[in-house]
C-alpha cells in the first residue's frame, strides 16, 4: 500500500488537453482521433501492448482495445489463460465523463514504460479506453445517434453496445470494470434545495439476485468490502454505491438490479463485474485545472490501480469462482437452478434509515442527512430453469437478436411436439410512481398452464443447457422484470397467450 501511495504521488498530470482555459473551467480534451493515434504510438514502442479494433461507432469513429500482457500468446491470440485473470476495463461509456478514459490512457502509458510489471505475472488486460468516442468528441452522454449505450444491454439497439458484447464473448474476461463519474450538482437537490452530493469513489458489483450464488457471495461478502477498504486506505474515501440522490425527501437504495446495464449483464454471464463512480466536480467550482480534471483523473487512476492490485492478489480464488460460474450456473448452494422473475428494492428492516453526508452549496460545509433506506433486495416469483424456451413470433428477427447476444438456439425444420408451459398474460399494469428520467417497467400478470404443444417448422428453440442460460431466460420470459419486451422496440406485451414459453422436455 505504501508503494501505491508513493507511485500515485509521482505520476504527473497527463497531457489530456491540447490547451487549457481555466477561466472557462472547461477541459480541452484530446479528440478521439488523437487518443487513438497516441495509443498506437505507445503500442509500437512496447512489446507488452497491442491495439485491436473492435469496430466503429455510430459516427464512424474507431472503437479499440489495448491488450496488455507479458505473454505474446495472449497478445496474438487473445485467448483466456488457465493461470491468469483476464481483466477488461471500459472507459467513458458516457462521453461526458472523460476521467475514466484519461486514467486508462495513463495506465497504457505506464505499462509501455514497464511500470506495474508485477501485475502482469497474474493478469492479462483488455483496456477499452474510449467505449463511446462519439460522446467524447460531442461532449455528450450519448453516441452520434443519441443512444444511451450504457443501458442498451438487452435490446442491443446501438452498434457500440453490440461491439462491447462481442468483446465480452471474444476475450471472455474474468473481471469487468466499468468506469464512470458521478455529478455532484443536481437540479432539485442543488438548485432548489442548496446541497451537493458528496462522493469521492463509490463501488458496486453485480447485484441482481439471479447471479450465480458462489460468484455473488464472493463479490458481495469479500471482494467489494476489500476494494472499498483498500481505496480508502490509499487516501480516497470510498463507499458502497448509493442510487442517485436528487432531493432531500427521497429514499435511497443501491445500484439498479436490471440487466440492461453492463454491470449486471456481465455478472449474469458469470463474471466479476465492478462499477466505479468517481466524483465529477461542479462546473462552477474553482480548481487548479479545468473542472478539476487532473484531480478527477488521479482518483480514477487510483481506483483502477487499486482494483488491479487486489484482483492480482485474489487471482486464485477469483479464477475458481468466476470460471465455475461460467461453466455451470447455480442459484443455490446445493446446485439448484431457479430464477426469480420479480426483483426490486424495499425497506431495509434492520436499518430503516441511513445518514448520508451532503455538502452545503453556500459555504461548502458537510452535514449528515437522514434518508429512508430502501436497499433491501426483494426477490419473488421463483421458477425452475426449463429445458428450453420456444419462440413462435418474428422468428427471423428473434434469431438475429439471439445471435447478437451469442445465445445458442436451433430453428426447427419440421413440426415437433413438446411438453410445455403455455403462458398467458391476464393483466397489464402501468408502472407506479413514474420518475422523470427513469425507465419504469410494465407489470405483467402471467398465468402458467402445463400443455402439450406442437411447434412448426421455422419456430426457434433456445436450450437452457448452455452457459448463457440464466441471462437468456431472464430476457425471454415475459414474467421477468428484465424481459426484452420491456424495451420500446419490442412491444409484445398484450393480453392473451404469449408467443415465447418454456419447454419442459429436452429438445
Contact 313, 19 (CB under 8 A): no
For 330-343, the pLDDT digits (tens) are 999 999 999 999 99
Of 381, 397, 420, the residue nearest 498 (C-alpha): 420
CA dihedral 326, 166, 301, 279 (to 10 degrees): -100
DSSP bridge partners of 91: 179
The residues that are catalytic are: 277
CA distance linking residue 490 with residue 468, whole number of Å: 21
Tell me, what's the pLDDT at 26? 79
Q: Is 496 left (phi over 0), alpha (psi -120 to 50) or beta?
A: left
CA dihedral 231, 235, 241, 246 (to 10 degrees): -160
H helix and E strand count, the chain: 13, 23
How confident is residue 2, by pLDDT bands cut at 50, 70 and 90?
very low
CA distance linking residue 133 with residue 32, whole number of Å: 6
CA 152 to chain centre: 10
Task: Give the range among 120-124, 296-300, 435-439 with minimum mean pLDDT.
Answer: 435-439
For 268-283, the pLDDT digits (tens) are 999 999 999 999 998 8
Domains and CATH numbers, the chain: 2-327 (3.40.630.10), 339-379 (no CATH), 385-503 (no CATH)
Of 342, 424, 420, the residue nearest 387 (C-alpha): 420
**pLDDT mean over 293-321:** 98
Q: How much is the mean pLDDT over the chain?
A: 93
3-state SS record for 71-113: CHHHHHHCCCCCCCEEEEEEECCCCCCCHHHHHHHHHHHHHHC
**pLDDT mean over 98-110:** 98
Contact 27, 17 (CB under 8 A): yes
Tell me, what's the pLDDT at 433? 62
Tell me, what's the pLDDT at 289? 95
Q: Does the pLDDT of residue 72 top 90, yes or no?
A: yes
Distances from the Cα of 477 to the Cα of 19, 390, 481, angstroms: 52, 10, 9
Distances from the Cα of 188 to the Cα of 245, 338, 439, angstroms: 10, 41, 19
For 417-453, the pLDDT digits (tens) are 999 999 999 999 987 665 544 567 898 999 999 999 9
Q: In the numeric block, which cell numbers belong to residue 507?
A: 429438445
For 344-378, the pLDDT digits (tens) are 999 999 999 999 999 999 999 999 999 999 999 99
CB count in 10 Å sphere of residue 374: 19
* The Cα angle at residue 435 between residues 257 and 164, in degrees rounded to 5: 40
Interaxial angle between packed helices 32-44 and 99-112, expressed in degrees from 0 to 180 and rounded to the nearest 10: 20
CA distance linking residue 345 with residue 438, whole number of Å: 15
**pLDDT mean over 2-24:** 41
How confident is residue 493, by pLDDT bands cut at 50, 70 and 90?
very high
Contact 201, 273 (CB under 8 A): no
CA 474 to chain centre: 17
Tell me, what's the pLDDT at 438? 54
Q: In the numeric block, which cell numbers belong to residue 365?
A: 460545509
CB count in 10 Å sphere of residue 149: 29
Q: What is the pTM of this model?
A: 0.94
Q: In the numeric block, which cell numbers belong to residue 217?
A: 457471495
Tell me, what's the pLDDT at 24? 58
CA distance linking residue 267 with residue 260, whole number of Å: 12
Of 437, 252, 439, 422, the residue nearest 346 (C-alpha): 252
Q: Does the pLDDT of residue 17 top 60, yes or no?
A: no
Which residues are CB-neighbours of 85 under 8 A, at least 6 positions away? 122, 123, 124, 174, 175, 311, 312, 315, 318, 319
Interaxial angle between packed helices 293-313 and 224-233, expressed in degrees from 0 to 180 and rounded to the nearest 10: 130
Amino acid at each position: 500500500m505504501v508503494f501505491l501511495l508513493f507511485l500515485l504521488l509521482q505520476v504527473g498530470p497527463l497531457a489530456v488537453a491540447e490547451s487549457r482555459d481555466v477561466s472557462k473551467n472547461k477541459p480541452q480534451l484530446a479528440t478521439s482521433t488523437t487518443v487513438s493515434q497516441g495509443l498506437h504510438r505507445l503500442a509500437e514502442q512496447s512489446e507488452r501492448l497491442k491495439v485491436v479494433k473492435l469496430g466503429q461507432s455510430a459516427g464512424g469513429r474507431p472503437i479499440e482495445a489495448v491488450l496488455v500482457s507479458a505473454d505474446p500468446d495472449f497478445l496474438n491470440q487473445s485467448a483466456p489463460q488457465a493461470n491468469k485473470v483476464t481483466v477488461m476495463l471500459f472507459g467513458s461509456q458516457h462521453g461526458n465523463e472523460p476521467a475514466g478514459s484519461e486514467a486508462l490512457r495513463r495506465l497504457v502509458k505506464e505499462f509501455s514504460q514497464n511500470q506495474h510489471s508485477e501485475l502482469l505475472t497474474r493478469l492479462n488486460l483488455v483496456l477499452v479506453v474510449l467505449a463511446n468516442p462519439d460522446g467524447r468528441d460531442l461532449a455528450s452522454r450519448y453516441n452520434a445517434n443519441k443512444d444511451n449505450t450504457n443501458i442498451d444491454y438487452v435490446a442491443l439497439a446501438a452498434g457500440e453496445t453490440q461491439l462491447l458484447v462481442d468483446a465480452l464473448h471474444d476475450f471472455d474476461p474474468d473481471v469487468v470494470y466499468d468506469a464512470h463519474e458521478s455529478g455532484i450538482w443536481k437540479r432539485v437537490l442543488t438548485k432548489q434545495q442548496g446541497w451537493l452530493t458528496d462522493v469521492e469513489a463509490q463501488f458496486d458489483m453485480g447485484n441482481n439476485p439471479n447471479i450465480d450464488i458462489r460468484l455473488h457471495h464472493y463479490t458481495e461478502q469479500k471482494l467489494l468490502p476489500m476494494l472499498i477498504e483498500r481505496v480508502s486506505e490509499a487516501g480516497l474515501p470510498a463507499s458502497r454505491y448509493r442510487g442517485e440522490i436528487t432531493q432531500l425527501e427521497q429514499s435511497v437504495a443501491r445500484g439498479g438490479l436490471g440487466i440492461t446495464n453492463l454491470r449486471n449483464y456481465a455478472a449474469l454471464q458469470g463474471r466479476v463485474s465492478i462499477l466505479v463512480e468517481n466524483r465529477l466536480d461542479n462546473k462552477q467550482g474553482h480548481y487548479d485545472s479545468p473542472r478539476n480534471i487532473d484531480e478527477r483523473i488521479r482518483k480514477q487512476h487510483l481506483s483502477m490501480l487499486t482494483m488491479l492490485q487486489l484482483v492480482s492478489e485474489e487471482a486464485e480464488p477469483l479464477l475458481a469462482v468466476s470460471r465455475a460460474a461460467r461453466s455451470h450456473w447455480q442459484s443455490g448452494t446445493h446446485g439448484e437452478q431457479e430464477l426469480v422473475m420479480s426483483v426490486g428494492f424495499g425497506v431495509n428492516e434492520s436499518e430503516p434509515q441511513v445518514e448520508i453526508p451532503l455538502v452545503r452549496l453556500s459555504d461548502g460545509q458537510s452535514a449528515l442527512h437522514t434518508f429512508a433506506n430502501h436497499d433491501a433486495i426483494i426477490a419473488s416469483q421463483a421458477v425452475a430453469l426449463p429445458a428450453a424456451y420456444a419462440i413462435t413470433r418474428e422468428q427471423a428477427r428473434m434469431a438475429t437478436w439471439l445471435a447478437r447476444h451469442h445465445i445458442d438456439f436451433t430453428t426447427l425444420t419440421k413440426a415437433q411436439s413438446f411438453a410445455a408451459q403455455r403462458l398467458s398474460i391476464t393483466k397489464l399494469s402501468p408502472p407506479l410512481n413514474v420518475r422523470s428520467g427513469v425507465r419504469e417497467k410494465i407489470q405483467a400478470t402471467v398465468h402458467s398452464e402445463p400443455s402439450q404443444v406442437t411447434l412448426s417448422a421455422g419456430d426457434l428453440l433456445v436450450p437452457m443447457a448452455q452457459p448463457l442460460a440464466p441471462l437468456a431466460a431472464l430476457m425471454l420470459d415475459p414474467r421477468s422484470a428484465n424481459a426484452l419486451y420491456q424495451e420500446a422496440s419490442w412491444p409484445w406485451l398484450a393480453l392473451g397467450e404469449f408467443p415465447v414459453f418454456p419447454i419442459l422436455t429436452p429438445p
